[in-house]
Structure 1
Amino acid sequence: MWSRILSPRVIRGTRLCWRSLYTMQLKTSEFQCLFTDGLNGLVEVFGKHKHELRIAGGAVRDLLSGKRPEDVDFATTATPEEMKHMFKAAGIRMINNKGEKHGTITARLHDENFEVTTLRVDVQTDGRHAEVEFTTDWLKDAERRDLTINSMFLGLDGTLYDYFKGYEDLKNHKVRFVGSPEQRIQEDYLRILRYFRFYGRVALDPDDHEPETLTAIRENRCGLAGISGERIWTELKKMVVGNHAAHLLELTYQLGLAQYMGLPPDGNVEEMKHVWQKAKDLSPKPMTILAALFRCPEEVEKMDIRLKVSKEEKSLALFLVKYRRELCKSKDEPDSVKPFTDFIIDARELDTQSKMCELLKYQGEEKLLAALRAWSIPRFPVSGHDLRRLGITSGKEIGVTLQNLRDIWKKSCYQMEKDELLSYVKP
């Protein structure tokens, strides 16, 4: 059951005039499954020292949606120093102290890692980073978070603590900022892309945005210029493989965001929408969808300079831009995967088959994709050593002969064996 507690405290910068706390009890199997030996041990340590411990953020959202979260983060009233003292006294190993200045301590119990963060408030922000101050007030910590659906806490007894109607928004598939969208965005401009990412995960309607949210995003779009490419790319990748990706990417252009995100200012939005429609059910990689925006290789290079994508991601984008029109299914044999397997054989690079699968997703060729995935690259049975045994010693002649034999081998659908192929060699 729900219960509501009202207090006449005004919450700074929110749409609420009263402090509202909604609570309920969660007793799902997904929640109960979290209680491993490690978590039970963690709960015991915090209980012994009388510090509150709750599940925070995305894990709460997942549990309320009936999903078992992959990662579970915890929040506590204990300071980092108090946590270190507690864990040391209990003989619990602590690892990765990089998050300590932001209040995060990672403890390892029963071969599990548990990230626990002290409640905090942002005392100063510059749109990228925040200086934090620790607190014991759960409301203040919730108030600094980005979206209502990410601002809830779940007690280890199953009690939900919800200050900003996050659960109501989750049930209604609404994505809203905590309080003022403009204020939340100006605290960290990356929240623009986080909004889009979570919209793709939660919303049912592709275009059910609150007008004030879109206005705040448009008016603060320049702030993305100061966000690192790595952070933008992390969010953009998640957004592109979520629901409504084509609509959300188109929206980034309508709101004037693209130029600050490393995307081409004049991106081919219509091509992207067409590709997404064909590929969305084929589990495309993020770059497969984004490649449709690029009109030429130079735009891929500019994107890489801004976002610093991996070598594999950049290589895939260049591959798709180059071959999306050039390499297509045969008009004479539309169900044949041979043009693509021949290309893979000629390329002789380990990742070409993977790239080719993404090309077929880009083109929406589901049947050919299934055939290519089931195909194993055969081994060409002839080597330069075999030709030398036949008396061919010139390196140039060996290369030409091997290529001729490869062509014969391909025409046989890779069936010819060594002796049969060597019968074509005239020393």
Structure 2
Amino acid sequence: MKLETSEFQSLLSDGLKGLADLFEKHHFELRIAGGAVRDLLVGRRPEDVDFATTATPEEMKSMFQTAGIRMINNKGEKHGTITARLHNENFEVTTLRVDFQIDGRHAEVEFTTIWETDAERRDLTINSMFLDLQNRRVRFVGSADQRIKEDYLRILRYFRFYGRVVLEPGEHEPETLDAIQDNAAGLAGVSGERIWVELKKMLVGSHADHLLELMHGLGLTPFMGLPPDGDIKAMKLVWQNAKGHSPKPMTFLAAFFRRAEDVDKMNLRLKVSKEEKRLAKFLVMHRRELHKCPDNPDSLTPFTDFIIDSRELDTKLKIGSALQELRDVWKKSHCQMDKEELLSYVKL
């Protein structure tokens, strides 16, 4: 496949052209790999571009040294990655490889020149794509059950990639969904922080309403800190109304919660930021009151009023806390401190 898109053409810098020419001169193949291919296929310019090659790390080092090209950051060399610097750009190039003795974190590697063999070690077809492949379906490479058991976070990566690549909802392979459902409990062992990173990205992608409903139906949500009786109907309604307005991930997810306690339980599991937790609680506690003005359906007055009231409440709580702190200081002084001394404790 040859790409003529503006996104692809924008990558063809002097550095990349020089890199490609060097590999061609030495009769090695060089291809863009993984996530960058996904971005190019959906019309997005990649932020980071990884390269795969048939050259071994030793062959790359010899080639770069002969050409007088600087190499930096050799930490990835044992896994086949060499980083070269051309025209003030860094290019990370990795030798095709096979992984052995995988335990979810560590692997011994063996280099290969066969593209299909390298693809088999990757978790999803999106990550196993090279620049000469075009496929808008997401599935696991090889056995879905095996890929998931190697790292249960791949369950959420599947849904995130689906939302970024597939044009229509509902185009899932039954075998993939069966493997995900069978391994749902494995998410219990994944840290909440990692789950929230993947979930946030999914929530701002395409088909998020379909995907969250599907995840709930497959029994994933209880292992992610989300309520087992989540409000699917409200969630889908909010998603449809918010389309095109770029809502925050938590704005959408909050519609799934039926009660404020659901937010607290979610936070215990996912460790979201204070701002995200506060937003979720605000929406859950006040959504019934945030109705539109009957005389002006497009008015934002009820929403701005609630924001102002919320800020006023925060101010009152802070003042109350400060007064209590001063009261404690005064008591510790055996009630001897005067006004000026107490004011010196006030944090301006």
Separation of aligned partners in 2, 1:309 and 1:102: 33
1:213 aligns to what? 176
Q: Does 1:255 align with 2:255?
A: no
SS of the residue 2:107 aligns to? strand
Superposed CA RMSD: 3.2
Superposition deviation, residue 249 in structure 1: 0.8
1:140-289 equivalent positions in 2, closer than 5 A = 140-154=117-131, 160=132, 162=133, 167=134, 169-170=135-136, 174-289=137-252
Structure 2 stretches of 5 or more lacking a match?
A: 313-338, 340-348
8 Å Cα contact 1:142-1:151 kept in structure 2: yes
Cα distance, 1:298–1:107 mapped onto 2, change above 3 Å? farther
Separation of aligned partners in 1, 2:295 and 2:272: 38
Superposition deviation, residue 255 in structure 1: 0.9
Separation of aligned partners in 2, 1:100 and 1:292: 47
Cα distance, 1:151–1:270 mapped onto 2, change above 3 Å? same
Superposition deviation, residue 51 in structure 1: 4.4
Superposition deviation, residue 142 in structure 1: 0.8
Give the aligned residue type for 2:17. Answer: N
Give the aligned residue type for 1:277. Answer: Q
Separation of aligned partners in 2, 1:200 and 1:121: 29
Cα distance, 1:255–1:346 mapped onto 2, change above 3 Å? closer
Match of 1:318 among 278, 281, 286: 281
8 Å Cα contact 1:120-1:132 kept in structure 2: no
Cα distance, 1:88–1:225 mapped onto 2, change above 3 Å? farther
Give the aligned residue type for 2:72. Answer: M
TM-score, length-scaled by structure 1: 0.64
2:9 aligns to what? 32
Superposition deviation, residue 294 in structure 1: 1.8
8 Å Cα contact 2:57-2:80 kept in structure 1: yes
2:264 aligns to what? 301
1:58-137 equivalent positions in 2, closer than 5 A = 58-80=35-57, 83=60, 90-92=68-70, 94-95=72-73, 99=76, 102-126=79-103, 128-137=104-113
SS of the residue 1:148 aligns to? coil
SS of the residue 2:243 aligns to? helix
Of the structure 1 ranges 26-35 and 190-199, higher mean CA displacement relative to structure 2 is found in: 26-35
Separation of aligned partners in 1, 2:191 and 2:7: 36
**How many residues get paired?**
314
Per-residue deviation, residues 144-172 of structure 1 (Å, max 9, x unmatched): 12233432223xxxxx2x5xxxx3x42xx
Superposition deviation, residue 29 in structure 1: 4.5
Separation of aligned partners in 1, 2:276 and 2:204: 15
Cα distance, 1:151–1:321 mapped onto 2, change above 3 Å? same
TM-score, length-scaled by structure 2: 0.77
Give the aligned residue type for 1:92. Answer: R
Cα distance, 1:104–1:329 mapped onto 2, change above 3 Å? farther
1:393-404 equivalent positions in 2, closer than 5 A = none
Match of 2:30 among 53, 68, 74: 53
Structure 1 stretches of 5 or more lacking a match?
A: 1-23, 155-159, 350-393, 395-427
Give the aligned residue type for 1:282. Answer: H
SS of the residue 1:282 aligns to? coil
Superposition deviation, residue 258 in structure 1: 0.8
Cα distance, 1:292–1:117 mapped onto 2, change above 3 Å? same
Cα distance, 1:279–1:30 mapped onto 2, change above 3 Å? closer
Separation of aligned partners in 1, 2:7 and 2:300: 43
Cα distance, 1:223–1:86 mapped onto 2, change above 3 Å? farther
Superposition deviation, residue 141 in structure 1: 0.9
Separation of aligned partners in 2, 1:88 and 1:286: 47
Cα distance, 1:323–1:85 mapped onto 2, change above 3 Å? farther
SS of the residue 1:328 aligns to? coil
Separation of aligned partners in 1, 2:164 and 2:303: 34
8 Å Cα contact 1:87-1:94 kept in structure 2: no
Superposition deviation, residue 319 in structure 1: 2.3
2:326 aligns to what? none
Separation of aligned partners in 1, 2:244 and 2:218: 27
Superposition deviation, residue 55 in structure 1: 0.6
Separation of aligned partners in 2, 1:341 and 1:193: 35
Superposition deviation, residue 251 in structure 1: 1.1
Per-residue deviation, residues 171-209 of structure 1 (Å, max 9, x unmatched): xxx322223222222222222222212222333442222
8 Å Cα contact 1:118-1:134 kept in structure 2: no
Cα distance, 1:121–1:201 mapped onto 2, change above 3 Å? same
Separation of aligned partners in 2, 1:133 and 1:215: 30
